[in-house]
Structures are given as structure tokens and as C-alpha cells.
Amino acid sequence: MAAVCERAALDTHLMAALPALVRAIRYGDVRGTDAGALRTTVDAIAVRVCVGLAPATTGLDDDAARELLGHVDAVHSALAVLADPDHRARFQEALAGIAGRDGLHGLIDGRVTRLLLDEGRLGPDEVATRMARSVSIGVPAARAAAWTEGFLSSSGLLLVHDARLLGLVDAWITGLPAGSFTRREAGRRRRGHGRSARRALRLRRRP
């Protein structure tokens, strides 16, 4: 456990270890590891994840951003299971600290915005403003697509219930140069993303 804690201070990608440790605390493990020792390790890693999140998001390419997005989602879910209000609040503060930051990869920016919305840290008006800025004319299509993908990555059904956000996504798609959305969507389908967003658009447009 001491070795894991030491590495956590140096390597924020131990975000990947946090969910398994939280599950072991909640449900136990086959080794019968002492829950107190596990909790000490989880507490150390959770703090270091929050401290290291901002530097971990610097200079990401597409693949690295997608990998980090998975870690962010996993940590968010793990902390919900852990149900420690201090850890959850600290992680939300870390997310708020990077949201909208210059140079932040669109995939991460969109996902962080969605998590803050789901947690009530951002209101619908602020989210609509951020989305409008992120998919506006002048924003490169790839960056806007990444932001939208991150925002809708857990569930696009949010669009069914929020006409403003749906309108922003619709306006962005219809304003793209011919063929650019088709190429981007083909890539999303190959990776298995976008199904919930397409379903939301279909449901919203039904009479």
C-alpha cells in the first residue's frame, strides 16, 4: 500500500487504479485486504488525482485525450460509490478548474462541462453559453466535434429534454462544410460513439 501511495504522488495516471480500490472497499476482495489500509490508499490517490488533473490535461493529442476521458469518467463514478463528500467536492473543484481552459482538448472540455452540469455545479444557461462558444462559427470543425462528443459521451438523451442544447448542436451540424460531418461521424461510428446522440436527435424530431 505504501508503494501505491508513493506512486500516486508522482503519477496522476493512477486514476486507473482508483475504481478497483473503491470496489474492494465496498465489496471486499479475494485476498481479504484490510479495509482500513485500502481506505488510506484511496484517500491518498484521490487527493493526488485532484492535484495532478490540470497538468495531466496539458498538450494531449486525440488518443491521449480519449484515454484520459475514460479515467475521468471512472474516477467520477468511483467517488460516487465511495460517497465521501469531501473527495467528491475536491474532484468537482478540480474539474471546474480546467473547464474552458485555453488549450484544453475539446473532448475533455466537453466531458468536464457535462459532469459539472450533471453535478449541479453549472446551470443550464451557463452550459448553453459554453456550448455556443465551443461550436460557434470560427471554431475548427474537429475541435467542435470533439467538444460535442465529450459532452454527449455518456448520454445524448439530454438533448431530448433541452431544446436550447439541441438547437445549438443542430445549428453546428447544418453549418458544417459539405461532407465534413459525414467523415467525422463515420469515425465516431467506427469507435462506437454517438449512438445516444443520434437517438436523441431522432426522438426530439418526432412529431
pLDDT in tens, 6-51: 444 435 568 999 999 999 888 776 566 677 888 999 999 999 999 8
pTM: 0.76
| 33 assigned to some structural domain | yes
The count of structural domains within the chain is: 2
Question: Which helix (H) or strand (E) is 141 found in, with range?
Answer: helix 141-152
The parent domain of residue 36 ranges over 1-98
Q: Pick from 173, 53, 37: which is nearest to 115 by CA?
A: 53
Do residues 91 and 125 both lie within one domain? Answer: no
Q: What percent of the chain has pLDDT over 90?
A: 39
Q: Which of 70, 98, 126 is the last residue of a domain?
A: 98
In the structure grid, which three cell numbers stand for residue 101, read together? 481552459
Q: What is the pLDDT of residues 139-195, one digit of tens each?
A: 888 898 899 899 888 766 666 767 777 777 777 677 666 655 554 454 444 444 445
Do residues 30 and 54 both lie within one domain? Answer: yes
Do residues 7 and 82 both lie within one domain? Answer: yes
Res 155: pLDDT: 63
> What does residue 96 show for φ and ψ, rounded to 5 degrees?
-60, -30
Do residues 145 and 167 both lie within one domain? Answer: yes
* Average pLDDT of the chain to the nearest whole number: 79
Q: Which of 47, 79, 98 is the last residue of a domain?
A: 98
Do residues 179 and 90 both lie within one domain? Answer: no
Is the Cβ–Cβ distance between 122 and 113 less than 8 Å?
yes
